[in-house]
Amino acid sequence: MAKKQSSAEKRHRKSEERRMRNKSAKSAVKTSVKKFVSLAQKKDPGAEEALKEMIKKIDTAAGKGIIKKNTAARKKSRMQRFYNTMKAAQ
């Protein structure tokens, strides 16, 4: 993208870098959620470890402002509740 001012070029370059970094972090959160859900549905003993990892990724993304704090809390709450119901069903 051709801009006239060098400051505009830098701004564009930096926003692109941030966009890619944020996209990567969001993708990591989604992947960890899918991994946890699949393990929990199979009643795999590794589900608890996957839950901890997922919570860590969500907290990291929320701390960096990639996802909002309430969104992070909601995701963690739903996944914890899902884990508890799966564990109770065993």
- Domains of the chain by start residue, with CATH: 11-89 (1.20.58.110)
Segment 64-80, tens digit of pLDDT: 999 999 999 999 999 99
Token pair for 18: 């941030």
Inter-residue contact 29 to 1 (CB < 8 Å): no
Predicted model pTM: 0.85
Tokens 């993304």 appear where?
A: 61
Segment 2-48, tens digit of pLDDT: 557 889 899 999 999 999 999 999 999 999 999 999 999 999 999 99
- As a whole number of angstroms, the distance between CA 43 and CA 47 comes to 7
In the 3-class helix/strand/coil scheme, how is 49-67 assigned residue by residue?
HHHHHHHHHHHHHHHCCCC
Inter-residue contact 54 to 28 (CB < 8 Å): no
